[in-house]
Amino acid sequence: MILLGAAVATSGIFSAFLVNDAICLVLAPLVLELTVALGRRPVPYLLAVAMASNVGSTATITGNPQNIMIGSFSHIPYTNFVFALGPVALVGLIVTVALIALFHRAEFAGAERLEAPRPKVNVNRVLMIRALLATLIMIALFFSGVVPAKAAIIIGGLLLLTRRVKSRRVYAEIDWSLLLMFVGLFIIVAGAQHALLNPDIIANVGRLHLDQVPVLAAVTAVLSNLVSNVPAVLVLKPFVDAAARPRHGVAGDRNGFDARRELHRTWLNRQSDCRTEGGRFRCGYRLLGIFPSWRATDRDHTCDRDAVAMALESKIKRRSFNPFSLDAVNFLAADVRGAVGPYLNVFLVTQQHWSQTDVGVVTTVSGLLGLAVQTPIGAAIDETRAKRGVIVLALAVLAAAAVLIFAFPTFWPVAIASSLMAVAGDVFGPVVASLTLGLFARKLLARQMGRNSAFDHAGNVTIALVAGAVGYAISQRAVFMLVPIFAALTAIAVLSIPAEAIDYNRARDLDGGPGAAKSVPGAAGYGILFKARPLVIFGLCAMLFHFANAPLLPLVGQKLAAAYPKEATAMMSTCIIAAQLVMLPFALLVGRTADIWGRKPLFLVGFAILPIRAVLYTLSDNSFWLIGVQLLDGVGAGIFGALTPLVVSDIMRGTGRYNLALGAIGTTVGIGASLSGLGAGVIVDQFGYSATFLTLGAAAFVAAIVFAIWMPETAEQDPGLPEL
């Protein structure tokens, strides 16, 4: 199974960036030679290469020739394409492994260790390193927005500049006849398209409803198997282009008016996330109904667009949504994250017998990697309209990482999986808060933030009960398999929120206050992070708060696990449930009172509770005492979780950098949590648990003092707010 998984992963990942045809040509003989040397049947593994190369290639524009053409026709940015189809490819690779293992059960029934002779291989290390660096640079250029063809030509040309291998030897390896065949194929298809596809035929084919994804998928699948996928894309291009341009008749315009494409040009439907009017691309098309994509500017209809759009504006309404969809997202996303979290440390210490230092190293490394991308993730969320798609992609990464921990609970796999989880986990806080801003009016924001936090805590309680039951009845290791299940449910909840219901200006806090001008200014520069003094103070206090708070629950769990190894997971669940049950009503209370009492008094209560809790842990090792003290975590964390998105929104209002700021706060929080993981582990190993609790309590006390003295009140007095 490991060999099968390696073949699928290698073929799928490389095909995504280096074109599947080339990967098949390279990997097929290698896999054949390896399987013969191991004494295995080569058929399942060759099928793995063939299937995975096709599945993996769907993830990017450069994965296969038809994707390259689609990217060229549509001008979809490389990153948007990956966000849309990356999760699909990942799920497809998992299904590939499952199908091959199912239909070739005899090949994978045994568990013997495979060993093969290692032949001596001559490797030119200089060329190998150059090729690897060139490939990484090329992939970086793809994601940075450089046209893939231009990036590939530049990097390929640079690789030819070498004296170690003569260029004519490289040219001799090129299959010129194959290239000539493709050139001829494109010429024939293009000629047939221009000669045979007149407007009447295109209109008749349009009655097949190719604008509907299921119909288009079925037609494409059938046609690709009849004439191959590349000609199929060329043939379907004019029909898809026509289906994607709904026309609404307008007097004085023979061709009509494309409302979806042109409305964003007016002030009536501004989207700050779109390119400027002079830019090359326009928003308005969605890929698979999840991610917005981009199309080239339509220059056919340039007259009277604003006037026509103003006439139609009164008829256009933002789609409504069911608020329970957002509640479900908060509830289920907590289940996805909570199924790993503190259980991982307990599992590694009690079942895999890791030292506290090893656990601290993994926690610190993953935390540092996560916080390195936290602020850029926030900036990207501000810029993208793909709010829902970002969540779906993060869910896929979390599910894959949890499966990796379940399958290979050794140091390096766990370290890699923890790092992936740290990066993906950074997404949820900013993007859910952004969705909330975009879906709810300002006067309802405080209550909804409290509601978000309450459902998040309810989800934590649920997963704690489920994980405790699974860990006690089956094994601690089985807990990690809950992640893919809840990830799938969360994705369904996310996609039930219509993209059209989100106000993308408000989602990034670009709307002004009640007295602001009607015109929406551009977003502030990134320097706003350092110019907003309350944000800097709040970030420092948040870092100290989480430096003190992050290790407390894992340390308590480890003490309980040492005393009661069999009941470790159940007791850890009890600790989580005890705190979450308190957080839930406090979150609702904060949501209802934050606009009346103000943010600062509520936050001071949360900051003051933490040092008291840390000191109380040192008074007894009794399990009932430890679980009882854990209840206080519900007060501090409940207040902090509900108010943080609200305070950041207060500070950043009108700047358009809400998610950037929330990401920056997440970075400071991550710095505190990561450093405390290693620090707490070392202190426990050297001085014991009590000294660690007192040290963390001192850090929490400093945070409370700084917040009380220097942090201003951020709530605005608005007479229009509803009374309790």
pLDDT tens, position by position, 626-669: 777 877 887 888 888 888 888 998 888 888 889 889 888 888 88
The pLDDT value given to residue 134: 80
Rounded Cα–Cα distance for residues 25 and 303 (Å): 52
The pLDDT value given to residue 333: 85
Query: Band of the pLDDT at 240, cuts 50, 70, 90?
Result: low
Helix axes 323-338, 482-495, angle to 10 degrees: 160
Least confident segment among 118-122, 217-221, 339-343, 580-584: 339-343
Enumerate residues 6+ apart whose C-beta is below 8 A from 643. Answer: 449, 590, 594, 599, 602, 603, 606
pLDDT in tens, 565-582: 666 666 666 676 777 778
The pLDDT value given to residue 208: 61
Residue 279 pLDDT greater than 50, yes or no = no
Angle at 349 between CA 344 and CA 355, to 5 degrees: 120
The pLDDT value given to residue 111: 55
Enumerate residues 6+ apart whose C-beta is below 8 A from 117. Answer: 37
Instruction: List the structure tokens of 124.
Output: 């030119």
The 3-state DSSP class for residue 256 equals: strand
Phi, psi at 531, each rounded to 5°: -80, -25
The pLDDT value given to residue 304: 39
Average pLDDT on 223-247 reads 66
Rounded Cα–Cα distance for residues 124 and 416 (Å): 29
Q: Do residues 469 and 343 lie in contact, with contact meaning Cβ atoms separated by under 8 Å?
A: no
Least confident segment among 43-57, 229-243, 257-271, 433-447: 257-271
Q: What is the number of residues in the chain? A: 724
Higher pLDDT among residues 644 and 90, named by residue: 644
Q: Do residues 617 and 626 lie in contact, with contact meaning Cβ atoms separated by under 8 Å?
A: yes
Query: Band of the pLDDT at 297, cuts 50, 70, 90?
Result: very low
Residue 560 pLDDT greater than 70, yes or no = yes
**Which residue is it, tokens 């009655």?**
207
Which residue type is seen at 479?
Answer: V
Enumerate residues 6+ apart whose C-beta is below 8 A from 217. Answer: none
The 3-state DSSP class for residue 250 equals: strand
Total Cβ atoms within 10 A of residue 541: 23
pLDDT in tens, 129-186: 777 778 878 887 787 777 888 888 888 877 777 666 777 777 777 777 877 877 777 7
What are the strands, taking DSSP E only, across 258-297? 281-287, 291-296
Total Cβ atoms within 10 A of residue 714: 20
Which residue from 136, 148, 164, 177 is spatially nearest to 71, judged by alpha carbons?
148
Residue 54 pLDDT greater than 80, yes or no = yes
Angle at 529 between CA 523 and CA 533, to 5 degrees: 120
Domain boundaries, the chain: 2-111+122-172, 193-313, 323-513+523-710
The pLDDT value given to residue 335: 66
Instruction: List the structure tokens of 687.
Output: 């001085």
Name the CATH superfamily housing domain 323-513+523-710: MFS general substrate transporter like domains (1.20.1250.20)
Residue 479 pLDDT greater than 80, yes or no = yes
Q: Do residues 592 and 718 lie in contact, with contact meaning Cβ atoms separated by under 8 Å?
A: no
Enumerate residues 6+ apart whose C-beta is below 8 A from 256. Answer: 247, 248, 249, 250
Angstrom CA distances, 652 to 26, 105, 680, stand at 52, 57, 34
Higher pLDDT among residues 673 and 611, named by residue: 611
Query: Band of the pLDDT at 719, cuts 50, 70, 90?
Result: very low
Q: Do residues 52 and 11 lie in contact, with contact meaning Cβ atoms separated by under 8 Å?
A: yes
Residue 619 pLDDT greater than 80, yes or no = yes
Rounded Cα–Cα distance for residues 94 and 98 (Å): 6
What are the strands, taking DSSP E only, across 519-637? none
The pLDDT value given to residue 516: 45
Which residue from 641, 330, 341 is spatially nearest to 489, judged by alpha carbons?
330
Higher pLDDT among residues 421 and 511, named by residue: 421
Enumerate residues 6+ apart whose C-beta is below 8 A from 29. Answer: none
Instruction: List the structure tokens of 428.
Output: 């949820």
Percent of the chain with pLDDT over 90: 1
Rounded Cα–Cα distance for residues 316 and 318 (Å): 7
Query: Band of the pLDDT at 255, cuts 50, 70, 90?
Result: very low
Angle at 138 between CA 417 and CA 45, to 5 degrees: 55
pTM value? Answer: 0.54
Which residue from 253, 227, 223 is spatially nearest to 240, judged by alpha carbons?
223
Identify how many contiguous H helices and E strands the chain contains and give both numbers.
Answer: 31, 4
Rounded Cα–Cα distance for residues 370 and 423 (Å): 4
